Structure 1
Amino acid sequence: MFLRLMLVVLFLMLPVAGVNAESIHAVGIKKLEVVDPIDHQPMETVVFFPISGRAEVTNIGPYQIAASKSVAIERGFYPLILLSHGNMGSMWGHHDLATTLARQGYIVVSLTHPGDNFQNSSKMGTTSVLYGRPLQVSAALSAALKDSVLAPHIDKDRIGFVGFSAGGTTGLILAGAKPTLARLVEYCAKRPNDRHVCEAKGHIRLDRPDLAASADPRIRSFVLLAPLSVMFTPAESKLIKSPLLIFVGDKDEELSPDENGMALAKNLGASLQVIANAGHFTFLSPCSPDMSQAMPELCIDPKGINRTETHQRINADIASFFKDTLGVQ
């Protein structure tokens, strides 16, 4: 009898394969009504949040999202994380990170930046995008804090941010740094093959001279994935006082990791993780079969990378960073 009882106790203590002990929630998704402060039109925004019940998968276009629609947020008080995609991206581009954080007790708000997304890139390379993106993130945050469903569950003192590529530029502006546009021209003169960033040779078109860099002090902690950060001088970047965690891939084919994320981390003394064999698009969510067929250039990684396993490590590190910097309730 005693031996049988001990075996039962030992069995209950064993880790369950495939289950993260920190992942205690299923995930829900809902659209959030947000008005773009630049052109005053509706802006596509989605919210990921903890729910009770079992996890489901929702197919949205070529994406397989580990979240359920039309469900209620679980009772509780949660920190909020904002997600900003790269040039020509979308609010679904980092859905696996969003669901990972929501499972661990975060509300995550992800938006599609107008004029700089996969359906409409007409404003790329303009000041309405460079300076508009931070304003759009701030508008999404304000909308979440006013939303009748979300607001009672948001801890407004624990707000974080994740930005990929151009979303890294957005994050640095939100953190209080101001870009020097001539630095991008100088960078592109040396790296004309950085396709998307240097398509206009680094020149930013001044379509909205009324816009300027605008910080958001409500955001306390920042994660930057393969950031476009060359526009910020060392002196300017040192004005940032918020905690930062920076990831770069050493096989990035779109941006120089040395002159962007690595130089930024050195200037700030910020935490840096260099992902061996990772390309620029390795930081996008692992691709479904439909996504691989529709956009293969976003789904093929350099040799030696398993994107799913890499994301499991990165997402866990990001969750740990926010736990440390935003605190745990």
Structure 2
Amino acid sequence: MVAVVCGLLATPAFAANVGFEEVKIANGTEPPLTVGIWYPTNAAAAEQTVGNVTETVARDAPIAGRGLPLVVISHGGGGWYDSHYDTAIALAQAGFVAAAVSHAGDTFDDQSRVLQLWRRPAQLNRLVDYMLDEWVGHQHLDKTRVGAFGFSNGGFTVLVMIGGVPNLSEIAPYCHAHPDHDLCSALARAGVDPDQGAAVPVGVWVRDPRIKAAVIAAPAFGFAFGRAGLSGVHVPVQLWRAADDRHQPDPYYEEAVRTDLPHPPEYHVIPNAGHYDFLPPCDARLARKMPALCNSLPGFNRAAFHEQFNGDVVDFFRKQLR
């Protein structure tokens, strides 16, 4: 099913207040991972500064509700756990618990292991373990209702988590054929030989059968899966493409995934949107600091789009995680 979004409808407001906490979780022999968690609460919410943004949340408040579904969130390259805070808040307002991890080695302040892509699914898997078994509120969760949301590198991460097996040796021929594409020019500027993509440790791609549904926006390295690599994906997928994505040109990313999934996804194509329009709208200060991430094409209303986007994400998870 393909949904081309031309008009934007209002998303209904949800009554629940939103609690928030930041935690550090053990990650084997590596330093702890930093995680943000949003959840329903009956406590009063107030404006709080989290990183570069202001969120209306009740910090470290008691959780409200039982049998709550969980959605784990994987950010894009160079992001951090708060990269999709508005989607996390919308989920919490709708009665979900949303938990996002800062992917060590691929964050805004640490790009040291960005091409070791197999680390990301392992970190997201660790987050699921923590939330279901160790989090102070884990008894409020329904372990049978777990979803995942991912954008860009996070979309790649979630595809792996639901059964996708990429072949990173596809990066080299892709870049030989398309040296001007962003992925390939970025590798060239960094002095990285794309042929190193074949050097992947055996058995590192972590699948998590607890994830029952996935929302994937602008998945990175979509061309690296192929039909065989996606043959093990059998959970419902909501897939999003920005029609004017100049970082991940069509048809090598979302369209490649859509074509090769064994079951047709719920597919949304957003006219006039760019890659970073899947990130929340920026305030004036952040727009001055990070114009490349914040600026949209003329005529595109990112705030209005996010009202629709977050509503559709909530509706999908509500339907699939019943």
Contact kept, 8 Å, 2:10 with 2:307, in 1: the verdict is no
1:31 and 2:39 are equivalent in the alignment: no
Question: What whole-Å deviation, never above 9, does each CA across 1:15-69 have from its counterpart, x for those lacking one?
Answer: xxx99655121111112331234x5211111110001144422112321223221
Q: Which residue of 1 aligns with 2:89?
A: 99
TM-score (norm 1): 0.87
Q: Which has the higher contact order (CA 8 A, sep 6+)?
A: 2
3-state secondary structure, aligned to 2:186: coil
Q: Which residue of 2 aligns with 1:245?
A: 238
Question: What whole-Å deviation, never above 9, does each CA across 1:257-284 have from its counterpart, x for those lacking one?
Answer: 3211122112222111000011000001
Name the aligned partner's letter for residue 34 of structure 1: I
1:170 and 2:170 are equivalent in the alignment: no
Q: Which residue of 1 aligns with 2:191?
A: none
Name the aligned partner's letter for residue 83 of structure 2: G
Deviates more, 1:189-198 or 1:233-242: 189-198
Q: Distance in 1 between matches of 2:186 and 2:87?
A: 29
Contact kept, 8 Å, 1:34 with 1:42, in 2: the verdict is yes
Q: Runs of 5+ in structure 1 lacking a partner?
A: 1-17
Two-structure CA RMSD over aligned residues (Å): 2.0
Q: Which residue of 2 aligns with 1:147?
A: 134
Residue 324 of structure 1, aligned match among 315, 319, 322: 319
Q: Distance in 2 between matches of 1:168 and 1:242?
A: 15
3-state secondary structure, aligned to 1:220: strand
Contact kept, 8 Å, 2:47 with 2:54, in 1: the verdict is yes
TM-score (norm 2): 0.89
CA spacing shift, 1:46–1:272, aligned 2, 3 Å = same
1:205 to partner: Cα distance: 5.4
Q: Distance in 2 between matches of 1:56 and 1:192?
A: 48
Q: Distance in 2 between matches of 1:197 and 1:73?
A: 45
Contact kept, 8 Å, 2:77 with 2:153, in 1: the verdict is yes
Name the aligned partner's letter for residue 296 of structure 2: D
1:58 and 2:53 are equivalent in the alignment: no
Contact kept, 8 Å, 2:11 with 2:307, in 1: the verdict is no
Q: Runs of 5+ in structure 2 lacking a partner?
A: 1-8, 189-193
Residue 71 of structure 1, aligned match among 55, 61, 69: 61
Q: Distance in 1 between matches of 2:105 and 2:144?
A: 31
Contact kept, 8 Å, 1:249 with 1:257, in 2: the verdict is no
- Kindly, what percent of the aligned residue pairs are identical? 28
Q: How many residues align?
A: 306
Contact kept, 8 Å, 2:227 with 2:260, in 1: the verdict is yes
3-state secondary structure, aligned to 1:46: strand
CA spacing shift, 1:21–1:312, aligned 2, 3 Å = closer
Name the aligned partner's letter for residue 83 of structure 1: I
Q: Which residue of 1 aligns with 2:211?
A: 219
Residue 85 of structure 1, aligned match among 62, 75, 99: 75
Name the aligned partner's letter for residue 246 of structure 1: L
Q: Which has the higher strand share?
A: 2
